[in-house]
Amino acid sequence: DALAMAMVEARKFTVEEYAGNHPAGAIGRALTLKVEDVMRKGDAFAKVKPESTVLESLMAMTRAKSGCAVVADAQGALKGIFTDGDFRRIISSEGADASDVLSAPVSKYMTTSPRSIKSDSYAAEIVKVFEKMQIDDLPVVDNAGCAIGLVDIQDLPKMKVI
């Protein structure tokens, strides 16, 4: 990659031109893949409503084999995110009653206004967000702000984004 970047500079290529000519390389792949190409969707995407219980959210996460559930309203608008870490912190806090927590709406415990990324963004942006925000899961939204997928940091090596 270092040699490739030296050639880019020496020949006055833009990084985008290099990526277009070498889409299978690590640099080219990271700069040409879109978020929609690497996001979880369908059965691998846990999406729940704000009124869903914590237990329902955990079950959706289990079915999707995901460490989080994206919370969206009836129109699909992103409202929050609930992670397995959130659940562990809540349950381990003093005075937490497990049955009360499990039956409570997920909106009570979710992170509101989570960081998200648009589906038409380049996949290289994902890595920047994960590093800057120190998070592991990133909801994906369309141009209308509707939750349509999720990027999990654990999926990126398989996709050869990192």
Summarised one tens digit per residue, pLDDT across range 9-42 is 777 666 566 566 655 566 666 678 899 999 999 9
The pair of three-digit structure tokens given for residue 124, joined into one six-digit string: 């290289």
Under DSSP, is residue 45 helix (H, G, I), strand (E, B) or coil? Answer: coil
Residues 6+ apart with CB under 8 A from 148: 39, 41, 76, 119, 140, 141, 142
- CA-CA distances (angstroms) from residue 25 to 18, 49, 83? 10, 40, 33
H or E segment to which residue 69 belongs: strand 68-72
pLDDT, tens only, 55-70: 999 999 999 999 999 9
pLDDT, tens only, 78-101: 999 999 999 999 999 878 899 999
Q: What is the mean pLDDT of residues 105-129?
A: 94
pLDDT, tens only, 141-151: 999 999 999 99
- Domain borders along the chain are 1-32, 33-155
Query: For domain 33-155, which CATH number applies: 2.30.42.10, 3.10.580.10, 3.40.50.720, 3.30.70.3450?
Result: 3.10.580.10
How many residues comprise the chain?
A: 162
Eight-class DSSP state of 52: S
Under DSSP, is residue 34 helix (H, G, I), strand (E, B) or coil? Answer: strand
Eight-class DSSP state of 57: H
**What confidence tier does 153 reach under pLDDT thresholds 50, 70, 90?**
confident
Spell out the alpha helix ranges (H) of 33-145: 35-38, 54-64, 84-92, 98-103, 124-133
Which is more confident, 107 or 10?
Answer: 107
**C-alpha span between 26 and 83 (Å, rounded):** 30
Query: What's the pTM value of the predicted model, to 2 decimals?
Result: 0.80
- CA-CA distances (angstroms) from residue 67 to 51, 64, 74, 117, 134? 19, 9, 22, 18, 15
